[in-house]
Amino acid sequence: MFVYAHRGASALAPENTLIAFRKAIDLGTKGIELDVQLSRDGVVMVMHDDTLDRTTNGKGRLEKFSLEELKKLDSGVWFNKSFCDEKIPTLEDVIKILPENIKLNIEFKPDKKNTVKIAQEVYKILEKYKNFNNIIISSFYHQSLLEYRKLDENIPMGMLFEYDIVNMFEYIKNTGINPVSINISSEYVDEKLVEEAHLNNLKVAVYTVNSYDIAMNLKKIGVDEIFSNYPDIIS
């Protein structure tokens, strides 16, 4: 079963920061997951929340700030004083430090008004770094995935779901996204869902799994991938 470091090694370092990604690499992880959204000036920033309040010393919505303003913020001290001065990275910052053999899961976190633009901006970056091609795009915002699919017919995609929706696989086929996986919360995953996904040629990726016992149970029922704050959870 494949393991992604969820927002990096986020149990050990401030999430979605370069040090969290480096720690994940040091632990031998083969996959990293991160979240992206756009700054006021259209730069692809790596952050989960749409506001700065929880994980930086700033306040307000990220989209209201420019790259220059965001780079002045501290994104580490909230986690521990030893991470003081850690910065919010851009997607390019992260790609530059990752080994080419790392699988990178980029989750779109668009504002409602930039579902198209975030797809366009990420596409520009990935075209620039074509040598780093072990990438999957994922999102709860399926419209953004569809917009990216218009730009790239072949990039692997994961469709995120908060729960097991009615007629899920019929819905997936009708979107035109053509994903390789469904990414779903562990509380909604059972053997039947995994079997049905596999019958539809889809992998099942489960978030967020921080217990060894839960990880082993998911592996037993055929889950293909998990996201964990402890990327060495099953090594």
**Catalytic residue numbers, as ranges:** 6, 48
Q: For residues 109 and 62, give the distance between their C-alpha atoms in angstroms, rounded to a whole number.
A: 11
Q: For residues 222 and 149, give the distance between their C-alpha atoms in angstroms, rounded to a whole number.
A: 28
Decide the pairing of beta strands 203-207 and 225-228. Answer: parallel
* Residue pair 46/89 in contact by the 8 Å Cβ criterion: yes
- Based on DSSP, count helices (H) and strands (E) in the chain, helices before strands: 8, 9
Lookup: tokens for 150: 């218009």
Beta-bridged to residue 30, according to DSSP, are: none
Across 39-180, the runs of DSSP E, i.e. the strands, are 44-46, 103-108, 135-139, 157-161
- A 10 A CB-CB count for 115 gives 19
Return the closest-CA partner of residue 104 out of 52, 156, 27, 26.
Answer: 156
